[in-house]
Amino acid sequence: MGIKVAKTANEAFAEGMRQINPDVVAAYPITPATEIVQIFSQFVADGLVKTEFIQVESEHSALSACIGASAAGARTMTGTSSQGLAYMWEMLYIASGLRLPIIMAVVNRTLSSPINIHCDHSDTFGARDSGWIQIYSENVQETYDNLIQGVRIAEHPEVRLPCMIMTDGFILSHCLETMEMLTDEEVRDFVDEPPERENLIKAAVENKPITIGALDLPDYYFEHKRQQAEGMKNALRVIPEISKEFGNRFGRYYGFVENYRIEDADIGIVVIGSTAGTGKEVVDNLRKKGIKAGLLKIRVLRPLPVEDIKNSLKNLKVVGIMERVEGMNAFCSPLYSEISSCLYDLEKRPILTNFVYGLGGRDVKIKDIEIVFNDLLKILERGKKEFTLKYIGVRE
């Protein structure tokens, strides 16, 4: 088994990449993700990896280089954040449409304007429909474990989709935590050689050139998108398989979601990322007072684990969906839309309400989450809600 070390999430990403030893990494620096490729480039310079490291002039070029490398059969990785991810936008859809299993380490940071380098999830939430698998992490350990599992998920022959692994900017990316690192051999064994991609083999063995990204007009585009949708659907089956194998080997098991004291809860919150840690503390405090509180952490957002979300929330009476994203739709944050659509088909649904918090890295503290639970308790008493969206931690 591995050893206990103190690492930031950026360091954990870089160490994980070293152990995975990809064929190609192309990246451009951006706060707070810069360290990932900075540390990794040192590994390249020191000869610890066989990786071809491509320095590019922008994130658009970084992902373009990754697409070229991955289409040629290379195991390919990159890392970015915020504006960098925004600048990759058109290439995100090309990577997923070409079914290229590129792995991207993303450090969540808000989007300009106003310019701000701190955490919220607006950057990757915008990319939730780009055809990439999205896995979010609560702490440094999960960041590392998700990265290693991500390689296997993306490359699975029935999935073959790019995958982004998220960690919270500064809160995790620059925060030292103890974690258990696997040995290089364990990671190498787990990720193994990428499965063969038959079209590339044909190009190599039969020496036949291939066309990548051919024009696909109204008579074929729809079929390719339907095919891509099936890949995402298959990921619903593949992700638990890979997670189980990871758990059996290394002792840490991950689901699509994490249920925390939610089985018998009356009220609960839904969160993503590092806020889950703070939320669990609040849940424990409430339980000590005899209040049946629980927490649901969403680990995988794409594919959307509908059945897991239904099962976790179906018996609750009131649920508060907390997210550090403002949807700008004059109604709710995107996670609220996702969760409420999961629950709509249930005969008996909990009352749902939405709390937007932590934009631009505003701290969320125990007392903030207590405000949320107090609101949920009021709704529970009255049997109805008086608002759908409330902002937590903003100066009124």
Nearest distance from C-beta of residue 230 to another protein, angstroms: 7
Question: Are 283 and 322 contacting, i.e. CB atoms less than 8 angstroms apart?
Answer: no
Residue closer to another protein by CB (options 224, 237) is 224
Q: 395: which 2 tokens? A: 């100066």
Q: Determine the 3-state secondary structure of 151 from DSSP.
A: helix
Residue closer to another protein by CB (options 189, 230) is 230
Nearest distance from C-beta of residue 206 to another protein, angstroms: 10
Give the number of C-alpha atoms closer than 13 A to the C-alpha of residue 4, restricted to the C-beta side.
2
Task: Please state whether beta strands 76-80 and 103-108 pair in parallel, antiparallel, or not at all (unpaired).
Answer: parallel
Residue 280 to residue 295: CA distance in whole angstroms: 7
Which residues sit at the interface with another protein, rule CB under 8 A?
71, 97-100, 160, 199-200, 202, 208-216, 219-220, 222-224, 226-228, 230
Nearest distance from C-beta of residue 367 to another protein, angstroms: 49
Residue closer to another protein by CB (options 46, 219) is 219
Residue closer to another protein by CB (options 234, 311) is 234
Q: 376: which 2 tokens? A: 């949920």
End-to-end CA distance of the chain: 51
Nearest distance from C-beta of residue 160 to another protein, angstroms: 6
Residue closer to another protein by CB (options 48, 232) is 232
Nearest distance from C-beta of residue 212 to another protein, angstroms: 5
Residue 258 to residue 349: CA distance in whole angstroms: 20
115-to-83, 281, 360 alpha-carbon distances in Å? 10, 32, 9
Q: 316: which 2 tokens? A: 């609750």
